[in-house]
Amino acid sequence: MKHLQSNWGLYLALLFILANTFYHSRWDNTQTEAPISWDASGYYSYLPAIFIYKDIQALDHMPDIIDQYRPSPQMDQAFQHESGHYIFKYTLGQSLTYLPGFAIGHIWAKNSTQYPADGYAYPYQAATYFYALCFGLLGLFVLFSLLKNSFSIVAANWAIFALAAGTNLLEYASYTPMMTHISLFTLYVLLIRQSILFWKKPSTWKAVVIGLLVGWLALIRPTELIAVLIPLLWGVEISKASIQSRWNSIKGQWKKIGLAALAGALVLFLQSIYWKIAGGEWIIYSYQDQGFSWLKPHIKQVLISYRKGWLVYTPMMVFGLVGFYPLFKRNKSIFLACLTFFLINFYIVSAWNIWWYGGSFGQRALVQSYAIMAFPLAACAQWILEFKQLKWAQLVPVIFFVFLNNFQIWQSHTAGLFDAEYTNKAYYWRMFLNTNYEPTDKLLLDSKEAFFGLRSGATIILEEDFESTNIDSATISPGFESSVSQQIDQAHPYSYTISLSDFPRDFKWFRVTADYWVNQKEYDIWSMAALVVEFKKEGKNVKYRHIKFPRLLNSEEWKSIMMTVQFPDKAIDEIRCYVFLPKATAKIYRWDNIEFEIFNEL
């Protein structure tokens, strides 16, 4: 009982992670919702290619795997190199993390009459998933022990609970442990522990382990090479004497540190060996057209945007940022390493061109840094606990942030409300603490405005069914309950433009309703056709809005979809409406029965 009371934060953290794991039971999912899917399938692809198919150049097995298991809609795990061979996009470090899980899955499949030993059947999915989960939990246990050595037991409990239950670490420790972030988190925790042990009593073995950990981190994500800051700075205070002392220690242990560097380099050399075998070059930039904007980092967007703002989706880490102050005051030997790492890491994360890091919950690229941010988080907890008037007041935001974090993860995976990649202010607040899902709400992701109240004075000002309109004969197609609709396709990317100039000016809202059809459902947001409404004055745009109506369309199904926007405050003399395709696509669209309506709010 005493042990339970002294470690309550850790046990609650485990409870939240395991409850989330078994509630979603992702290991039972298939295709793009399976554990080995999307990015995770790219990290994992080395293992079956090397150990099962003995093929890391042509990847002849991949088309059949994609057809059968659908880890992603197409083969985006690798690209064709100028050598003619295929190169995996991601480096192989995460495959090393998966290796024990893959081995268990392979033994399971080989001894099963139910599953093929093909690298992607259920045994591989389940075994690799649970191994990744356990690897993440290891990091949580070790981190808790480190926090207890640096802060009070109460502060350590609050910090580990807040981190696991109230941040997006919960998402990556439970639902998506196959992603790199929880693995990196654990490796960072182990690196911190090893750095402490090394400087307490230096030894060759400890130095080599540090080198292996840094190399492994960088082999998973090359930018994690900044992990070298941890062993260099941990235990150093911001003072000339402390910095000089560490420099002298480094010079005194140069042989051990040299061996650490060699160990790390050997780990990284594994990637060069793969590139040489697969593509004939020692170094290949596998991210192709993706890169960094070093001079224009997306700091504001990464920090507070509705799209993927760190503090918007993980407000618990406000306590972590505040915690740098008490950390500086009371734990000076930890402060320099934590702050330096955080600032450099945040800059690197913000400089990446795809700063929102694809479809994910919150800023996933910062999750691994929570191994370091746990220390200012614990410092903040200890600081607050010393103020009697704030001791219990802190419960309110902490409990709310835990609730919000879990609720939004539920929205992401169960309710279908949360958009993982393109959320804006309008859609965020429409979905905030909302349990009801209306597919039409997704249109807010495009137009940023919609009408949800009661209408008054609704007036139809124009109807268009193309029955008597002079449109390009090449775009005429069968309509919805009519003989004519207009087709929009690769050869005709712009529809007929409907222009309105004679309409009442004393209305607040404008609505377009039309019937739409597509031959095959479109999933790529950038390829979707769009309905555009332009408010103009003397030929110049005063206001522009669009919706990507294919969000709501299924294959070969007519559907009525409406778009509602406010009239601009400025005077206008024309409204234009049309459909266009943003880029070449094999999809064929039709639109029909367009109705234009104006109204006010009751």
Kindly indicate the confidence band of residue 480, based on its pLDDT and cuts at 50, 70 and 90. Answer: confident
Q: What is the CATH number of the domain that holds 524?
A: 2.60.120.260
Q: Are residues 172 and 118 in the same domain?
A: yes
Kindly indicate the confidence band of residue 266, based on its pLDDT and cuts at 50, 70 and 90. Answer: very high
In a domain, 264, yes or no: yes
Pairwise CA distance, residues 115 & 107, whole Å: 11
How many domains are there within the chain?
Answer: 2
Q: Which of 517, 511, 510, 520 is nearest to 495 (CA)?
A: 517
Structure tokens at 334: 């930890």
Q: Which phi and psi (to 5°) does residue 478 adopt?
A: -60, 140
Dump pLDDT digits (tens) for 90-101.
999 999 999 999
In a domain, 424, yes or no: no
Q: What is the pLDDT of residue 106?
A: 98
**What percentage of the chain's residues is helix, strand, coil (to nearest 5)?**
55, 15, 30
Dump pLDDT digits (tens) for 132-167.
999 999 999 999 999 999 999 999 999 999 999 999
Dump pLDDT digits (tens) for 288-310.
889 999 999 999 999 999 999 99
In a domain, 176, yes or no: yes
Distances (CA, A) of 109 to 45, 97, 119, 134, 348: 17, 20, 9, 21, 41
If you average pLDDT over every residue of the chain, what do you get? 95
Contact between residue 280 and residue 343 where contact means Cβ atoms under 8 Å apart: no
Q: What is the number of other CB atoms lying within 10 angstroms of the CB of residue 255? A: 10
In a domain, 420, yes or no: no
Q: Are residues 191 and 270 in the same domain?
A: yes
Pairwise CA distance, residues 161 & 184, whole Å: 19
Q: What is the DSSP letter of 567?
A: P
Average pLDDT (161-176) is 97
Q: What is the pLDDT of residue 583?
A: 87
DSSP H/E element including 481: none
Q: What is the pLDDT of residue 1?
A: 59
Q: Which domain holds residue 512?
A: 441-601
> Considering the entire predicted model, what is its pTM?
0.94
Contact between residue 493 and residue 586 where contact means Cβ atoms under 8 Å apart: no
Pairwise CA distance, residues 561 & 438, whole Å: 13
Kindly indicate the confidence band of residue 271, based on its pLDDT and cuts at 50, 70 and 90. Answer: very high
Pairwise CA distance, residues 47 & 147, whole Å: 35
CA end-to-end span of the chain, whole Å? 61
Q: Are residues 342 and 450 in the same domain?
A: no
Q: What is the DSSP letter of 494?
A: B
Q: Are residues 487 and 350 in the same domain?
A: no
Distances (CA, A) of 245 to 81, 201, 239, 252, 334: 49, 15, 10, 10, 15
Q: What is the pLDDT of residue 3?
A: 65
In a domain, 69, yes or no: yes
Dump pLDDT digits (tens) for 385-428.
888 777 677 788 999 999 999 999 999 887 677 888 889 999 99
Higher pLDDT, 315 or 385: 315
Q: Are residues 342 and 228 in the same domain?
A: yes
Q: What is the pLDDT of residue 4?
A: 64
pLDDT at 370 over 90: yes
Is beta strand 86-88 parallel, antiparallel or unpaired with respect to 78-80?
antiparallel
Q: Are residues 394 and 502 in the same domain?
A: no
Residue in the structure block whose two tokens are 């522009």: 544
Contact between residue 384 and residue 390 where contact means Cβ atoms under 8 Å apart: yes
Q: Are residues 284 and 408 in the same domain?
A: yes
Average pLDDT (535-564) is 96
In a domain, 433, yes or no: no
In a domain, 432, yes or no: no
Pairwise CA distance, residues 432 & 231, whole Å: 42
Q: Are residues 456 and 344 in the same domain?
A: no
Q: Are residues 400 and 515 in the same domain?
A: no
Q: Are residues 303 and 362 in the same domain?
A: yes
Q: Are residues 155 and 276 in the same domain?
A: yes
Q: What is the pLDDT of residue 223?
A: 97
User: Positive or negative, the Cα torsion across 468, 469, 474, 477?
Assistant: negative
In a domain, 369, yes or no: yes
Contact between residue 9 and residue 161 where contact means Cβ atoms under 8 Å apart: yes
Q: Are residues 266 and 303 in the same domain?
A: yes
Q: What is the pLDDT of residue 415?
A: 64
